[in-house]
Chain A
Amino acid sequence: MKRIITVTLCFILFCAPAFPLQQDRFVFGQLKYDGMWDPYPETWQDILEFIVTTTSIRCEGRRRVVSLDDPALFSTPFLVILGSGIFPALNERERASLRRFLSNGGTIFAEDSTGLKGSAFDGSFRREIAKAFPESRLKRLTPEHPVFRAYYLLRKAGGRRLTSPFIEGLDVGGRAALIYSQNDLIGAWAKDRLGNYLWECVPGGQTQRFEAQKLTQNILLYSVTGTYKSDAIHQQYLNRKLER
Chain B
Amino acid sequence: MTGIGFHPFDLVSAAGIIAAAASIWLVWRYRKNTALSIWRTCTCVLLCLVFLQPEAVRNDLGARPELAVAVDVSGSMKHTGRLDTSLRALAALRHELENRYRVRYYAVAEHAVAAGSLDDIPGMKSPNGTALASSLEEIRRDGADSLSGILLFTDGNEQGPAVPARPSAGVPVTVVTPQARRAITDVAVRSAQIADFAFKNTPVEVRVTLDALGCNGRSVMLSIVREGSTPAVEAQKQVRFTQDRQNIEATLSFTPTASGEQRFRVEASPLEGEYSTENNTLGFGLDVVRDKLRVLFLCGQPGHEYAFLRHVLKTDPMIELVSFVILRNPENIALVSEDDLALIPFPVHELFTRDLFDFDVLILQNFTYRKFGFMPEYLAAIRRWVMEKGGGLLMSGGANAFGSGGWYATPVADVLPVTAPAQGEGFDESLFRASLIAPRHPLAAVSDDEKKCRAWWQEAPELDGIQLMEPKPGAEVIARHPFAETPLITAWEKGKGRAAAVASGTTWRWALASGTPEFYTAFWKNTVRWLANAGADRQLRMSFDRPRYYAGQDCTIRLRSKEAINGQALSVTVIAPSGKRSVLTPVPSGSREWTASFNFAASGMYRFTARLTRGGVEKAQAETVIEAADLDLRENSALDINDAACAELAANGGMVLDDAAFSAGHAAIAVKQTYRSVQEEKIPLWESSWLLALACLSLAGEWLFRKMKGIV
A residues with a Cβ closer than 8 A to B are 17, 21-26, 53-58, 74-75, 77-78, 100-101, 103-107, 149-153, 173-175, 214, 221, 223-229, 231, 233-234, 237-238, 241, 244
Contact = CB atoms under 8 A, between A and B. Distances in A.
B516 A104 contact: yes
A23 B301 CA distance: 13
A175 B311 contact: yes
B322 A23 contact: no
Given A104-B517, A152-B341, A226-B314, 20 more contacts: A21-B464, A23-B429, A23-B465, A54-B332, A54-B334, A55-B302, A57-B302, A58-B301, A75-B513, A104-B512, A105-B311, A105-B511, A105-B517, A151-B327, A173-B315, A221-B302, A225-B302, A227-B314, A238-B342, A241-B342
Of B334, B464, B514, most buried by chain A (CB within 10 Å of CB) is B464
B464 A153 contact: no
B583 interface: no
A77 B553 CA distance: 67
A239 to B, nearest CB: 11
A225 B465 CA distance: 21
A224 B332 contact: no
A238 B343 CA distance: 8
B328 interface: yes
Given A54-B333, A58-B301, A221-B302, A101 B512 contact: yes
B409 to A, nearest CB: 23
Interface string B314-351: 11000001110111110011111001111110000000
B203 interface: no
Contacts of B300: 56
Contacts of A22: 464
A57 B303 CA distance: 7
A23 B505 contact: yes
B398 A225 contact: no
A58 B331 CA distance: 13
B506 to A, nearest CB: 6
Nearest to A149: B342
A56 B367 CA distance: 12
Report the interface size class on chain B.
Answer: 35 or more
Given A26-B303, A104-B514, A105-B517, A55 B342 contact: no
A17 B429 CA distance: 12
B304 to A, nearest CB: 5
A108 B340 CA distance: 25
A15 B508 CA distance: 24
B305 interface: yes
10 contacts: A24-B397, A26-B302, A57-B303, A105-B308, A151-B342, A223-B307, A224-B306, A229-B342, A234-B342, A238-B344
Interface string B377-417: 00000000000000000000111000000000000000000
B339 A24 contact: no
B123 interface: no
Contact of B328 (A56, A225, A226, A238): A56
A241 B307 contact: no
B474 interface: no
B373 interface: no
Contacts of A175: 311
Nearest to B398: A24
B335 A77 contact: no
Contacts of B566: none
B366 interface: yes
B431 A224 contact: no
A225 B512 contact: no
Nearest to B345: A237
Nearest to B466: A23
Contact of A23 (B314, B506, B516): B506
B164 interface: no
Contacts of B340: 152-153, 241
Nearest to A228: B325
Contacts of A107: 307
Contacts of A174: 311, 315
B590 interface: no
Given A22-B464, A24-B366, A105-B508, A231 B329 contact: no
Given A56-B326, A231-B323, A77 B302 contact: no
Contacts of A56: 300-302, 326-329, 332
B424 interface: no
A44 to B, nearest CB: 17
A221 B327 contact: yes
A12 to B, nearest CB: 15
Interface string B496-532: 0000000001101101111111000000000000000
B245 interface: no
B94 interface: no
Nearest to B397: A24
B423 interface: no
A101 B509 CA distance: 11
Contacts of B322: 231, 233
A21 B465 CA distance: 8
A152 B342 contact: yes
Contacts of A221: 302, 327
Contacts of A58: 301, 303, 399
Contacts of B688: none
B33 interface: no
B296 to A, nearest CB: 11
Interface in B44-87: none
Given A23-B429, A101-B512, A225-B306, A152 B301 contact: no
Nearest to A177: B311
Nearest to A23: B465
B512 A106 contact: yes
B200 interface: no
Contacts of B263: none
Interface string B282-301: 00000000000000000011
A74 B511 CA distance: 9
Contacts of B464: 21-24, 75
Nearest to B304: A77
B333 A53 contact: yes
B692 to A, nearest CB: 117
A85 B315 CA distance: 37
Contacts of A152: 336, 340-342
B430 interface: yes
Contacts of B308: 77, 105
A55 B304 contact: no
Nearest to B329: A56
Contact of A55 (B332, B336, B339, B344): B332
Interface in B575-621: none
A148 to B, nearest CB: 8
B344 A234 contact: yes
Contact of B512 (A75, A151, A173, A244): A75
Nearest to B335: A54
A241 B339 contact: yes
A225 B304 contact: no
Nearest to B516: A104
Contact of B339 (A25, A106, A153): A153
B465 to A, nearest CB: 4
B399 A228 contact: no
A77 B431 contact: no
Contacts of A77: 304, 307-308, 508, 512
B121 to A, nearest CB: 68
A74 B303 contact: no
A233 B678 CA distance: 90
